[in-house]
Structure 1
Amino acid sequence: MTQTTTALRTEFDFELPHGLVGPDGRVHRRGRMRMATARDELSPLVDQRVRENPAYLGIVLLSLVITRLGDLTDIHAGVVEELFAADLAHLQDFYQEINGVGPEHRAVACPSCGAHFTVPEPAPGGRLGEP
């Protein structure tokens, strides 16, 4: 019996809608993000900045998993804080996408016209369209 091994892809490239303006005035739009580990998800919870302001969790978490942004490789919370709001939202969505924490989707077909499209799976115990 032959066993095939497929390498797990753990890093993904992204491009920001606007980009980070660096200290030298250059705009950094392309970057790389790695998949999060359990440690990445847990370590911000003991960060004093997150304890004082839970909304800061996303900033700290992204600073742990972004490995490169343009020429910048030292990505820390201060760098993420400088992003435009649209770029931050883009990275949060991208984080959810590559880590599989976003809503699951399934393919469906319209019973009337037969058109195919995807819809989000309802939350466990919930129905589609309900919070």
Structure 2
Amino acid sequence: MRRGRVAEGTPLAPPAPQTADAPASSRETAGPPGGPADLRTEFPFTLPRGYVDAGGTVHRDGVMRMATARDELLPLSDMRVRENPAYLSVVLIGRLITRLGTITAVDADIVEGLFAADLAFLQKFYEKINTDGTSLASTVCPDCRHQFDVDMGSRLGE
């Protein structure tokens, strides 16, 4: 298969949507070095409550990267997920958070220690950055034929 070149200055992906609830700094986070400026792969966040470590320090600010296919597939072979499918979100989010406060080695054990409100926030944040913030599906009313969008919602790990 022959691949063509993309003309310089041609965007490879549409720019990330800017939302009113995201601080300006989160909209300006760049993608990987050398990649296109409009391809963002890491997104800052602030937890509503914060993770309290063993020393009592509260960590609220962090960074989550976008998920790859591998990130979504590997946790499926994890024994904790096989025994309890709801654990998928804990393992997956633990793989994707690259920094939480001063902690750079975030894993499922740290995610387990989060308050429920923080885990729920991160599940929604994961969905937002990996689906452009939308879970809308277009549909048509069978009676009047009016077209409209329905928020399908989704819960990570189900």
TM-score (norm 2): 0.64
Partner of 2:20: none
Tell whether the 8 Å contact from 2:41 to 2:66 is kept in structure 1 after alignment.
Answer: yes
Structure 1: which 5+ residue stretches go unaligned? 107-119, 125-131
* Shift, 1:92, TM fit: 0.3
RCO higher in 1 or 2 (8 Å CA, sep ≥ 6)? 1
CA RMSD between the two structures: 2.2
Measured in 1, the distance between the counterparts of 2:40 and 2:94 equals: 20
Runs of 4+ in 1 over 2 A off after TM superposition: 120-124
State the 1:23 CA deviation: 1.1
**Percent of aligned pairs sharing the same letter:** 56
- 1:111 is aligned to none
Q: 2:149 aligns with which of 118, 121, 125?
A: 121
User: Cα 1:105–1:122, aligned 2, differ >3 Å: closer, same or farther?
Assistant: closer
CA contact (8 A) 1:19 1:29 kept: yes
Structure 2 equivalent of residue 103 of structure 1: 135
C-alpha contact 1:28 1:69 (8 A) present in aligned 2:
yes
Q: Cα offset for 1:47? A: 0.4
Q: Which structure shows the bigger proportion of residues in strand conformation?
A: 1
- Shift, 1:99, TM fit: 0.2
Q: Report the AA paired with residue 73 of structure 2.
A: L
For 2:109, the equivalent position in structure 1 comes to: 78
Cα deviation, residue 121, structure 1: 2.7
TM-score after normalising by structure 1: 0.77
